[in-house]
Amino acid sequence: MSKGIYEYTNGFEDEEPNEIKTIDIDDHIYNNKRPIMPRKKDVAGDQHSVSCQWWKRYSGAAGVCLGLLCVLLLAGITGLLLYQRNQLTSSNSLTKEWEQLQITGNNLTAERDQLQTSNNTLTKERDHLQTSDNNLTAERDQLQTSNNTLIKERDQLQTSYNTLTKERDQLQTRYNTLTKERDQLQTRYNTLTKERDQLQKEIERLKKSTVEKVCPQGWKKLGSSCYYVSTELKSWEESRQDCRDRGADLVVIKSQEQQIFVNWLCGVKKYVWIGLTDSVTEGTWKWVDDTPLTTTYWNSGEPNGGGAENCVYLYSWSSDTGEWWAYDCSYKYRWICEK
């Protein structure tokens, strides 16, 4: 039977650490065993035989112990190498981890610096915004104060406006009342003025009637007035101008006595302009002395010519009074003056 012990290698051959190989120990160490043959009993020989056997036994035990020590030594060295390799591997791992942690730390430091910079920037922005907020708050308060002041002023102005509006309405009412009173007074004044003018004319007429009046040659007298009948033919305006040139005006007929006298003075079937017209206000007939028309001697259906017939002529018949006709002022007829 053969036995083996472990042989320690360099531990790094073939890139396999701490490799242990076995070495076969020839059984020749123990092959010298031979069958013990019976020998003759010899005292000296027996003693020598006992001594040899003991030595052989001691040598075998020593070899076994030496082998065990070698095995233990080899195992210890192998364990140390494995421990050293594990430590080296662990150290390499720790080195890598340290380097990784160093990189991570550098990255974190850079991130921290960036965050610190960002924080500083945000702090400045916050301070700036805080300052802006304070400024805006102050401006808002000022605007609020101004707004309150403006509201008070507006309310005061509104009150003043309402007061002025009320006063204006009162003044408007008073103005309307005064205007109405003025119009009434104006109407009364106009009426009194007309009455005064009529009275003044009546006074003049009475004065004339009390004094014997002598008419110019070619004029005919009726009461206090003198009358002239033309022999020429002219328009109404030209006829009136001729009367004015003579110190008179176209005849104004205010009584039936006058109408009959003028009709007789003109002769039979004659057309004669008289001093009646509505040329100032259409449809409002007035005498040339601005007195209103009261007594009329219109022909049946007259006046009927509208805006084209604004002047009046007298057509004399064989009747006592004759008739009035409205006609175009541009036609040329005879005329009769009065002064």
Radius of gyration (C-alpha) of the chain in whole angstroms: 82
Amino acid, single-letter form, for residue 316:
S
Q: What pLDDT, in 10s, does the model give residues 137-150? A: 999 999 999 999 99
Residue with tokens 């209103």: 292
9's tokens: 């290698």
Helices (H) and strands (E) in the chain, counts: 4, 10
Q: Which domains does the chain have, with CATH numbers?
A: 219-338 (3.10.100.10)
Please report which confidence band the pLDDT of residue 10 belongs to, taking 50, 70 and 90 as the band edges.
very low
Check whether 31 has a pLDDT greater than 60: no
46-55, 135-144, 159-168: lowest mean pLDDT where?
A: 46-55
**What CA–CA distance (Å, rounded) separates 305 from 282?**
11
* pTM given for the model: 0.40
Helices (H), 211-269: 236-245, 256-266
Query: Which pLDDT band holds residue 11 (cuts at 50, 70, 90)?
Result: very low
Report the chain's mean pLDDT, rounded to a whole number. 82
pLDDT given for residue 23 in this prediction: 43
What pLDDT, in 10s, does the model give residues 53-91?
Answer: 666 777 778 888 998 999 999 999 999 999 999 899 988
Amino acid at 337: C
- Rounded CA gap, 27 and 31, in Å? 6
Strand partners, 327: 311
Q: How far apart are CA 322 and CA 270, in angstroms?
A: 10
Both tokens assigned to 77:
């060295």
CA distance linking residue 126 with residue 269, whole number of Å: 119
Q: Do β-strands 225-229 and 334-338 pair in parallel, antiparallel, or remain unpaired?
A: antiparallel
As a whole number of angstroms, the distance between CA 73 and CA 80 comes to 10
